[in-house]
Amino acid sequence: MTFSQTLTYLGSDLDHHGAPHQWFHYLTVAKPDGTTGAATATILSLAEAVAHGVPREPVKIVNVSQGGTDAALQEAAKFLDEQHAGLIKHAAEPQPHG
């Protein structure tokens, strides 16, 4: 089964409208990869989609050989956490897609 999760990273500095100066929003989609336990997660920038109308290409594709879609989502979140260290993180619960 395929799962998706949104992750948002916000800076603590606000602009004159009260919105964070730094704002990154991602959709991660994880799906099984054919072999037992293997999965792939694709990270798309939703903030870039808002700015440009459509996301240009995946930010990163993460492959895991064990742990399935849960492990793929965790590895994707780990990658984004490293990219946005020091920012406030908001992670939605993973959602299944049939």
Residue 11 C-alpha from the chain's centroid: 17
Rg (CA), the chain: 14
Whole-number Å distance between alpha carbons of 10 and 68: 29
Kindly list the domain boundaries of the chain, sorted by start residue.
Answer: 2-97
| Res 1: pLDDT | 92
Distance CA 27, CA 79 (A): 13
- At 24-47, the pLDDT tens digits run 899 999 999 988 999 999 999 888
**How confident is the model over 50-96, as pLDDT tens digits?**
666 766 788 899 999 999 999 999 999 999 999 999 999 999 999 99
Q: By C-alpha distance, which of 72, 97, 95, 80 is closest to 26?
A: 80
CA dihedral 82, 84, 49, 14 (to 10 degrees): 170
Checking if the pLDDT of 19 tops 90, the result is: no
pTM of the model: 0.88
Query: 41: which 2 tokens?
Result: 């997660």
